[in-house]
């Protein structure tokens, strides 16, 4: 393991990426993560840096702290996704599934009135309309149509769009979504959707319409169609007080 030298990307963020790879590729669910002291020594960083990186991965759900025992790689929640703002990539890694992405289309277009309103941009301002099929564990999971405001994300269309778009927004534009509004509904698959998702026409889909914001500024407007036979959402509910 090489020590982390100062660079443009903060050390805790780079350490976070290394730990994510370590947790998913080497350790696997249930395995103990080396202690704060060991990680600090191995990567020649302060314990505060380790704490910050590990804390972020605990918040993402990839790692979990067990009181008095240490930190462990969280078990993938079979088919349930918790209600937090996760990217597809994070969501699937949490479940222990390998992610695949096929870019189906990527076009720069003038924003329609409806899209402009949702993204809080001018009508006809340029947006990237990105269609992708997302696979998990080697099987189709979802189709996503994302609309991205190019005035805020200049040159986005020229990047590799087959990876995590949230990582790209974070790393290249310092605009990783930190809040989103999302509406969930149900539809049945039409012929095209069924073909792309390897299911029969008329099978159920969960539809997520999400507008995502980075520090209060809208950076994406997405509709995702997930196979309902492969995807569920878990909600922890508490009673209202009073
Ligand atoms: C989920 C959300 C989408 C979001 C995507 C980003 O699937 N429903 O709204 O665009 O994650 O995922 P990634 O960063 O892996 O491209």
Model pLDDT for residues 56-97, shown as the tens digit of each residue: 888 777 888 888 888 998 875 434 555 678 899 988 888 788
Q: How far is the CA of 228 from the centre of ligand 1 (A)?
A: 17
Residue 66, SS3 per DSSP: strand
CA distance 213 to 166: 11
Domain end point (choices 73, 99, 126): 73
96 and 203 assigned to the same domain: yes
Tell me the C-alpha distance between 97 and 231, whole Å.
12
**Cα end-to-end span (Å), the chain:** 54
Could you list the residue range(s) of the whole structural domain that residue 67 is in?
11-73
Q: Whose CA is nearest to atom 9 of ligand 1?
A: 222
Q: Is residue 69 assigned to a domain?
A: yes
Binned at pLDDT 50, 70 and 90, residue 241 comes out as confident
Pocket of ligand 1 (CB under 6 A): 87-89, 144, 146, 164-167, 208, 210, 220, 222, 224
123 and 45 fall within a common domain: no
Task: Tell which residue, 113, 177, 174, 116, has the closest CA to residue 149.
Answer: 116
How many whole angstroms from 40 Cα to the centroid of ligand 1?
32
| Smallest CA separation from ligand 1 atom 7, residue | 88
Q: Looking at the domain assignment, is residue 4 inside a domain?
A: no
Q: Do 113 and 31 share a domain, yes or no?
A: no
Residue 25 exposed, middle or buried by CB count within 10 Å (0-12, 13-18, 19+): exposed
Identify the domain boundary among 73, 96, 112: 73
Sorting pLDDT into bands at 50, 70 and 90, what band is 126? very high
Domain holding 147: CATH number?
3.40.1410.10
**Same domain, yes or no, for 136 and 198?**
yes
Instruction: Indicate which CATH number applies to the domain containing 47.
Output: 1.10.10.10
Q: Ligand 1 mean position to 165 CA, how many Å?
A: 7
Same domain, 186 and 136: yes
Give the mean pLDDT of the chain: 90
Q: Among 55, 73, 91, which residue terminates a domain? A: 73
Facing residues of 133 across strands?
102, 143
How far is Cα 85 from Cα 78, in angstroms, rounded to an integer? 18
Do 27 and 87 lie in one domain? The reply is: no
Shared domain for 66 and 86, answered yes or no, is no
pLDDT tens digits, 1-31: 567 777 777 888 889 889 988 887 788 778 8
- Give, for ligand 1, the residue of 210, 225, 233 to mutate: max count of ligand atoms closer than 8 Å to Cβ: 210
Count of domains for the chain: 2
Distance 241 CA to ligand 1 centre (A): 33
């Amino acid at each position: 393991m090489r020590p982390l030298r100062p660079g443009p990307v903060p050390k805790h963020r780079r350490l976070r990426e290394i730990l994510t790879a370590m947790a998913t590729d080497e350790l696997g669910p249930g395995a103990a993560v080396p202690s704060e002291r060991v990680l600090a020594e191995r990567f020649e960083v302060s314990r505060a840096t380790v704490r910050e990186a590990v804390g972020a991965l605990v918040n993402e759900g990839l790692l979990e702290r067990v009181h008095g025992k240490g930190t462990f790689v969280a078990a993938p929640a079979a088919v349930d996704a918790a209600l937090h703002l996760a990217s597809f990539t994070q969501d699937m890694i949490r479940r222990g599934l390998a992610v695949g992405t096929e870019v189906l289309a990527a076009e720069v277009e003038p924003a329609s009135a409806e899209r402009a309103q949702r993204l809080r941009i001018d009508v006809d301002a340029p947006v990237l309309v990105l269609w992708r099929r997302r696979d998990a564990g080697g099987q189709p999971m979802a189709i996503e149509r994302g609309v991205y405001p190019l005035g805020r994300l200049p040159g986005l269309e020229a990047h590799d769009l087959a990876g995590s778009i949230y990582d790209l927004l974070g790393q290249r534009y310092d605009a990783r979504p930190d809040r989103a509004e999302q509406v969930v509904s149900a539809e049945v698959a039409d012929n095209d959707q069924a073909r792309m998702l390897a299911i029969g026409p008329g099978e159920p889909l969960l539809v997520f319409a999400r507008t995502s914001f980075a520090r209060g500024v809208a950076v994406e407007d997405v509709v995702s169609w997930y196979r309902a036979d492969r995807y569920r959402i878990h909600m922890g509910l508490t009673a209202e007080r009073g």
